[in-house]
Amino acid sequence: MKKILITPRSFSKARHKADELLKDYEELEIVMNTTGRTLTEEEMIDQCSDIDGIIVGIDPMSEKVLKSAKNLKAISKYGAGLDNIDLDAAKELGIKVDRAVATNAMSVAELAIGLMFVASRSIVPTATSVKNGGWDRGKNAGNELYGKTLGIVGLGAIGREVARMAKGIGMNILGYDPYFDNQEFTDRYEISMVELEDLLKNADFITLHLPLTEETEHMINKDTLSIMKTSAYLINTSRGGLVDEDALYDALIDGVIAGAAQDVFSEEPPKGGHKLLDLPNFVLTPHIGAYTKEATERMVMQSTQNLIEMLELEKK
Ligand code: NAD
């Protein structure tokens, strides 16, 4: 009997969907992560020692984990970003990898748009002041999104949904993605494809929708922040490692940009707090981008289907 480990916490919320798909196939021994959190590398080494397949969230699948998982044949990512998986090691070891493409794009895009309103209208600090008995509208008046320029970095599944929604709000859209070439889409949503530098210089809102790789790590740094408008807002729902957080802190303190709102951080949760969390013009949500009922169901179904195919499970 093949053994499967399922690590994402939200998987159990739609587990019945996976069971429905699996009922026609050979029986599996399924082990769920019951810790209520992302597993550590040590725990992954321990849990993966005798599994044939895994449906994995953001838990580390380093070379060390993969090498210790002697029976592992397939990694099914519950989501889109593969940055927690050592793809070179997987290839070398002959372990198949697939991801649940576009299953959470709508949810993450809606959060990114939401964070633009959060940042530009100071929704978090003003609402917090009311909860604390105050009625403080903040020093500065907010900004409308209507008529502003949005720079979308990465026009994959999520970036394209953001473009569609932003068009509806009445924003002008700049795009940067060296691997994207779909003129029908850019024509339909009137997206001007530009170089990254032009996007950073001209956008009022910059939203990141690209994977974390060696090439993209710290793409938002002291230099790139310095060319943004002082009135610009940075939105990051992709990965914390895309942004140099020390440089972002300095930029927010010194008025180099107006604000930032993120759903991701270099270390989740940020250990012992982080200086960025003390700033009123910085907002962080706890990686909730794909945490909706709809995305959960789609991710459960797609990641289970991908695992069935990669493990070539036999029909009963
Ligand atoms: P996708 O693969 O559909 O799109 C990624 C896009 O980034 C592609 O179009 C690719 O060409 C582009 N890209 C790659 N390198 C680039 C570069 N150097 N500069 C500009 N563009 C580049 O992925 P997606 O589903 O749109 O997801 C995007 C990212 O969002 C994922 O990699 C993941 O890290 C993150 N994500 C976060 C959450 C969350 O819960 N917050 C959920 C899902 C995905």
Predicted confidence (pLDDT) per residue in 42-71, tens digit? 999 999 999 999 999 999 999 999 999 999
pLDDT value at position 228?
Answer: 98
199 plus 303 within the same structural domain: no
C-alpha 107 to ligand 1 mean position (Å):
14
Could you tell me if 52 and 116 lie in one domain? no
Considering only CA atoms, which of 272, 210, 269, 216 is closest in space to residue 235? 210
Tokens encoding 159:
């970036």
- Mind listing the pLDDT tens digit for each residue in 29-40? 999 999 999 999
Q: Do 131 and 9 share a structural domain?
A: no
**Residue 233 phi, psi (nearest 5):** -115, 140
d(CA 257, CA 239): 20
140: confidence class by pLDDT, cuts 50, 70, 90 = confident
DSSP letters, 9-76, are GGGGGGHHHHHHHHTTB--EEEEE--SSSPPPHHHHHHHTTT-SEEEESSS-B-HHHHHH-TT--EEE
* Catalytic residue (choose from 239, 267, 294, 314): 239
**Is 133 found in the same domain as 84?**
no
Q: How far apart are CA 223 and CA 3, in angstroms?
A: 48
Q: Which residues, including other chains, have CB under 8 Å from residue 280's CB and lie 6 or more apart?
A: 122, 125, 138
286 lines ligand 1 (CB under 6 A): no
Q: Considering the domain boundaries, does residue 316 fall inside one?
A: no
Identity of residue 169: I
Q: How far apart are CA 134 and CA 195, in angstroms?
A: 45
228 assigned to some structural domain:
yes
Query: E strands, the chain, where?
Result: 2-6, 28-32, 53-56, 74-77, 96-99, 149-153, 172-176, 191-193, 205-208, 233-236, 259-262, 282-284
CA 242 to chain centre: 11
Q: How far apart are the CA of 82 and the centre of ligand 1, in A? A: 10
Radius of gyration of the chain (CA): 21
Q: How far is the CA of 61 from the centre of ligand 1 (A)?
A: 19
87 and 40 Cβ atoms separated by less than 8 Å:
no
In a domain, 245, yes or no: yes
The residue annotated as part of the active site, out of 9, 268, 274, 297, is 268
C-beta of 238 in contact with ligand 1 (< 6 A): yes
Q: Is residue 41 one of the residues assigned to a domain?
A: yes
Distance 258 CA to ligand 1 centre (A): 24
Same domain, 152 and 279: yes
Question: Do 137 and 48 share a structural domain?
Answer: no
Q: Report the alpha-carbon distance of residue 184 to residue 206 in Å, rounded.
A: 23
One-letter amino acid for residue 292 of the chain: T
Reported confidence tier of residue 297, pLDDT bands at 50, 70, 90: very high
Same-domain status, 132 and 74: no
For the question of residue 160 being annotated catalytic, the response is: no
With beta carbons less than 8 A apart as the criterion, state whether 211 and 229 touch.
no
Active-site position among 287, 294, 297, 309: 287
3-state secondary structure of 13: helix
Q: What is the pLDDT of residue 199?
A: 98
Task: Based on the fold, state whether residues 263 and 181 are members of the same structural domain.
Answer: yes
Residue type, 253: I
Ligand 1 within 6 A of 148 CB?
no
Domain identity same for 98 and 157 = no
Q: 110 catalytic, yes or no?
A: no
pTM: 0.95
Ligand 1: which residue has its CA nearest to atom 30? 238
Q: How many domains is the chain partitioned into structurally?
A: 2
Q: How confident is the model at residue 175 (pLDDT cuts 50, 70, 90)?
A: very high
Apex 182 CA angle, 178 and 185, nearest 5: 120
Q: Which atom of ligand 1 has the smallest separation from the CA of 215?
A: 18
Query: What average pLDDT does the segment 219-223 reach?
Result: 98
Ligand 1 proximity of 57 Cβ (cutoff 6 Å): no
- Index of the ligand 1 atom closest to the CA of residue 83: 34
> Same domain for 133 and 260?
yes
Note down the domain range covering 84: 2-103+293-311
Residue 287 is a catalytic residue? yes
Which two three-digit tokens encode residue 291?
A: 């945490």
pLDDT of amino acid 273: 85
For ligand 1, is residue 263 a contact (CB within 6 Å)?
yes
Residues 79 and 112 occupy one common structural domain:
no
Nearest CA to ligand 1 atom 33: 81
Nearest CA to ligand 1 atom 43: 80
Is there an atom of ligand 1 within 6 Å of 160 CB? no
173 token code pair: 């859209």
Q: Treating both helix axes as pointing N-terminal to C-terminal, what angle do 123-131 and 105-120 enclose, rounded to 10 degrees?
A: 70
Q: 230 — phi, psi (to 5°)?
A: -65, -20
The whole-angstrom separation of Cα 167 and Cα 311 is 42
Let me know: does 201 contact 112? Beta carbons within 8 Å.
no
Cβ 143 under 6 angstroms from ligand 1? no
Dist. CA 153–CA 118, nearest whole Å: 20
> Would you say the C-alpha torsion 262, 245, 277, 79 has a positive or negative sign?
positive
Nearest residue CA, atom 36 of ligand 1?
238
Whichever domain contains 209, its CATH number is 3.40.50.720
Domain shared by 34 and 82, yes or no: yes
